[in-house]
Amino acid sequence: MAASYLHGAETIELRGGVRPINPVKTAVIGLVGTAPTHLLDDANATLNQLQQVLSDVDAGKFGGPQVPGFTIPQALNAIYDQGSGTVLMVNVFDETTHKSSVSDEAVTLDDEGQATLANSTHGIISATVKSSDGSTTHVEGTDYTLDKRTGTITRLDSGAITAGAELTVDYDHPDLSVIEGSDIIGTVDSSGNRTGLQAFLNSFNRFGFWPKILIAPEYSTQESVAAELEVIAGESNCRGVALIDAPIGTTRDDAIAGRGPDGSINFNFSSDRVGLCFPHVEAYDAATDSTRLEPYSQRLAGVIAATDHEYGYWYSPSNKTIQGITGVELDLSAMINNPTSDVNALNEAGIITVFNSFGSGLRTWGNRSSAYPRSTGPTNFLQTRRTADMVHESLEYAMLQFIDLPINQALIDAITESANGFIRTLIGRGALLPGSKCEWLKANNPDTEIANGHLTFNITMLPPPPAERITFESFLDVNLLSNLQTA
């Protein structure tokens, strides 16, 4: 405010006009599952906490090694095989409760001074090594070493364990069978901490962005987990899409039947925020030197993130090469010009699948969410739903700088032009079609609403839909024979 009297000069800074609008991050994957925290340094072993993973180096640091049964390391490997992406990870494996105990297991050291514990498939959480009669408790690091990954005890020459000794061991090992869907779904505990999927609701306050591609590999085959993934992906929460897998062993017909009330699997959704993934894919497993089946959702999530980075979030993730897989769970016929092929029948039912034809490689195949075929509106295309989300959220966040300013024509013009400047940028990039715009219409803003501090702006826009079907109309024209000339 200017002084009531001034003999001199002054400057009064007036703030107004157009404000730049920053787009929200889209290539962010929300991953909930299990990590072998008993094999990590304590500082990296988080439980039910959001952990940001930006690279394969972070994946090893926070997700741990690929141990059979643990879903997070495998999923991170699948995601980063595709090239790039930010992952917000939530581990629900609690080594203090998700375990089984073994007492007095007898082992005998071999010629190399080693013995492997019987229940070490998932590694070992902790162990106490004793003499065969239990009278002496040996000291780790002094008498022996324990490889928690393999469950192998190795005698130290300088220690008190003799060569070829018989020992008894008490130990705890992970028991992943006790992890339930409720652990993945999560809750708010008595201390006010969110766990499982609910932890994603903390992501904006902690990192300034939301996960936009939600996955719970292996666990999303449970109907309860799949349903909660849809909730967390909803407009009032993360405003993203959830990718849900069919169970291993599902046939093509089972997958299609699962879209209806008589189906036996978790595919009975009709939401533009749910993508249905079928079948499982095959990947090389270095630990066994063979192939393993793994959920399609984690590979597709990586493809979506990589597509966002390389092309833009307005590009469909369909018809993109899937890196790091060697095959699929079952053979599906795939012909680009055959409407009765397996992959076309699956797409027609709103299921995203894998295209594998002669010389095509293994490719993502399907543009539509589970909203299709019930809904034929634009947002049944996954990339249209995600683009609209990005525009809406970016505009909403940009309004913070205008909230509570006096309503006048300057404010209305500033908001309108700020929005249109953002939209014009998206049109120039190809994310929105020409003609997309923001308007303030007097008819939609009666005096009573303005007097109540409420302004309404109209957004008209459309992302370019994917070229899902290309048709040639061919005519055999005998009149073309008249163009023939004699020599």
DSSP string for 101-137: EEEEEEEE--TTSEEE-TT-TT--SEEEEEETTS--B
Summarised one tens digit per residue, pLDDT across range 122-157 is 999 999 999 999 999 999 999 999 999 999 999 999
Confidence of residue 484 (pLDDT cuts 50, 70, 90): confident
Question: For residue 286, what pLDDT is reported?
Answer: 80
Instruction: For residues 146 and 83, state if they share a domain.
Output: no
Instruction: For residues 275 and 232, state if they share a domain.
Output: yes
Phi, psi of 116 (to 5 degrees): -115, 130
188 pLDDT exceeds 80?
A: yes
- What is the DSSP code (8-state) at residue 62? I
Token pair belonging to 433: 């079609």
227 pLDDT exceeds 90?
A: yes
Summarised one tens digit per residue, pLDDT across range 233-284 is 999 999 999 999 999 999 999 999 999 999 999 999 999 999 999 999 999 9
Torsion sign over Cα 337, 340, 345, 348: positive
**Structural domain contains residue 472:** no
Instruction: For residues 107 and 217, state if they share a domain.
Output: no
Question: For residue 3, what pLDDT is reported?
Answer: 57
Inter-residue contact 118 to 81 (CB < 8 Å): no
Inter-residue contact 113 to 105 (CB < 8 Å): no
Inter-residue contact 246 to 277 (CB < 8 Å): yes
Domain endpoint, select from 332, 354, 380: 380
On the CB side of 343, CA atoms within 13 Å amount to 24
**Structural domain contains residue 206:** yes
Cα–Cα distance for residue pair 348/300, rounded to 1 Å: 19
Question: For residue 377, what pLDDT is reported?
Answer: 92
Instruction: For residues 169 and 188, state if they share a domain.
Output: no
CA triple 465-470-474, angle to 5 deg = 150
**Cis before 317? omega within 30:** no
Instruction: For residues 90 and 108, state if they share a domain.
Output: no
Cα–Cα distance for residue pair 240/252, rounded to 1 Å: 27
Cα–Cα distance for residue pair 26/160, rounded to 1 Å: 58
Cα–Cα distance for residue pair 90/34, rounded to 1 Å: 8
Summarised one tens digit per residue, pLDDT across range 295-337 is 999 999 999 999 999 999 999 999 999 999 999 999 999 999 9
Instruction: For residues 111 and 134, state if they share a domain.
Output: yes
Question: For residue 486, what pLDDT is reported?
Answer: 64
Q: Mean pLDDT over residues 405-421, rounded?
A: 96
Inter-residue contact 385 to 369 (CB < 8 Å): yes
Q: Which CATH number fits the domain that encloses residue 277?
A: 3.40.50.11780
Confidence of residue 190 (pLDDT cuts 50, 70, 90): confident
Instruction: For residues 279 and 147, state if they share a domain.
Output: no
Domain endpoint, select from 174, 197, 215: 174
Dihedral Cα 173, 174, 175, 177, nearest 10 deg: -160
**Structural domain contains residue 423:** no
Question: For residue 6, what pLDDT is reported?
Answer: 73
- Stronger pLDDT, 46 or 202, i.e. the higher one: 202
170 pLDDT exceeds 70?
A: yes
Confidence of residue 287 (pLDDT cuts 50, 70, 90): confident
Q: Mean pLDDT over residues 10-37, rounded?
A: 81
**Structural domain contains residue 411:** no
- What is the DSSP code (8-state) at residue 162? P
Reduced to 3 states, what is the DSSP secondary structure of residue 215? strand
**Structural domain contains residue 249:** yes
Cα–Cα distance for residue pair 173/127, rounded to 1 Å: 9
Question: For residue 422, what pLDDT is reported?
Answer: 96
Confidence of residue 36 (pLDDT cuts 50, 70, 90): very high
Percent residues over pLDDT 70 in the chain: 97
Cα–Cα distance for residue pair 137/142, rounded to 1 Å: 12
Instruction: For residues 191 and 232, state if they share a domain.
Output: yes
Give the chain's domain count.
2
Instruction: For residues 111 and 154, state if they share a domain.
Output: yes
pTM of the model: 0.92
Residue 146: domain span: 99-174
Instruction: For residues 300 and 159, state if they share a domain.
Output: no
Phi, psi of 255 (to 5 degrees): -65, -45
Cα–Cα distance for residue pair 154/340, rounded to 1 Å: 60
**Structural domain contains residue 355:** yes
Token pair belonging to 93: 């494996």
Torsion sign over Cα 19, 27, 221, 371: positive
Instruction: For residues 122 and 66, state if they share a domain.
Output: no
Reduced to 3 states, what is the DSSP secondary structure of residue 286? coil
Domain endpoint, select from 364, 380, 396: 380
Question: For residue 85, what pLDDT is reported?
Answer: 85
Contacts of 456 (CB under 8 A, 6+ apart): 440, 441, 444, 445, 449
**Structural domain contains residue 117:** yes
**Burial degree of 235 (CB within 10 A; 0-12, 13-18, 19+):** exposed
Question: For residue 17, what pLDDT is reported?
Answer: 65
**Structural domain contains residue 409:** no
Contacts of 163 (CB under 8 A, 6+ apart): 109, 113, 155
Token pair belonging to 341: 């092929």
Instruction: For residues 160 and 297, state if they share a domain.
Output: no
Inter-residue contact 188 to 114 (CB < 8 Å): no
